[in-house]
């Protein structure tokens, strides 16, 4: 599994996940090539500077509709839209009903990543208090990709990783340090 090439990394999380996602991103070298898509549950209709404040060193930005996923870029799903990935590896957005009370929904982005990138998709699910992400992580595994949850015992809210583990037993469990190491290994390929 670990010798798979990765073409996209989707990091999902909800309550308690922002500091963890920041820690992971900041531990990666600036030259890290695999595109990373961060989907975090956020408030809607409130101005947010999350993309700016998440990292002092790494540039993170919210994609526009139909923007292509590019090497070396870190994306943050905008507030109030589902973030989809088209088969030509461009982003598209969707303002349909929330999924698992969430828009953006982690499931939606993970499922697209699974469909488009198949065995080259990596899904990571961090702390969170609902079951969003579980179906998406399952889809990643079923398409031959790799899915890893943050160790629930280290999560501020363990529900999200736990729900994913219930759904599919092939999902790996790692703490933040090993998550970072896992991602670094991909960069060396």
Partner 1 sequence: MDQEITTEQLKEVLLLVKARYGYDFSQYSEASIKRRLERFKKIARVSLPDLKYHLVNDSSFFFWLLESVTVNVTEMFRDPPFYKALVNAVIPLLQTYPRIKIWHAGCSTGEEAYSMAILLHEAGLLERTRIYATDINMANIEKAASGIITLERTKEYTANYHKAGGNADFSDYYSALYDNVVISKELKKNILFSQHNLVVDEVFNEFQLICCRNVMIYFNHALQAHVIDLFYRSLSPLGFLALGTKESLLFSDKTAKFEVIDNTNKIFRLKANG
As annotated, the active-site residues are 14, 41, 132
- Nearer residue to partner 1 within complex by CB, 62 or 151: 62
Question: Of the ranges 19-27, 32-40, 61-69, 124-132, which one interacts with partner 1 (CB under 8 A)?
Answer: 61-69
Nearest to 25 by CA among 71, 58, 48: 58
Structure tokens that stand for 169 in this block: 């037993």
Query: What separation in angstroms does the CA of 42 have from each of 49, 54, 103, 156, 163?
Result: 11, 13, 8, 17, 20
Among the listed residues 85, 140, 141, 155, the single contact to partner 1 using CB under 8 A = 85
**Nearest distance from C-beta of residue 154 to partner 1, angstroms:** 30
For residues 124, 127, 129, 134, the Cα torsion angle rounded to the nearest 10 degrees is: 20
Q: Which of 26, 29, 52, 66 binds partner 1 (CB under 8 A)?
A: 66
Phi/psi for 101 (5° steps) reads: 60, 15
By CB under 8 A, the count of residues binding partner 1 is 25
Give the residue, chosen from 2, 5, 64, 153, that forms a contact with partner 1 under the rule CB under 8 A.
64
């Amino acid at each position: 599994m670990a010798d798979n090439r990765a073409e996209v990394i989707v990091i999902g999380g909800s309550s308690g996940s922002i500091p963890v996602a920041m820690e992971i991103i900041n531990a990666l070298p600036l030259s890290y090539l695999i595109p990373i898509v961060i989907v975090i549950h956020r408030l809607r209709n409130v101005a947010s500077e999350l993309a700016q404040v998440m990292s002092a060193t790494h540039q993170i930005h919210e994609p526009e509709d139909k923007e292509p996923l590019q090497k070396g870029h870190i994306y943050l799903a905008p507030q109030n839209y589902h973030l989809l990935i088209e088969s030509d590896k461009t982003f598209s957005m969707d303002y349909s009903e929330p999924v698992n009370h969430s828009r953006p929904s982690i499931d939606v982005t993970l499922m697209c990543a699974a469909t488009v990138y198949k065995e080259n998709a990596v899904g990571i699910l961090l702390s969170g208090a609902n079951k969003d992400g579980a179906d998406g992580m399952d889809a990643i595994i079923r398409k031959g990709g790799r899915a890893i949850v943050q160790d629930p015992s280290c999560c501020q809210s363990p529900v999200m990783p736990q729900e994913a583990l219930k759904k599919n037993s092939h999902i790996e469990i790692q703490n933040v340090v090993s998550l970072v190491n896992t991602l670094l290994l991909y960069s060396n390929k």
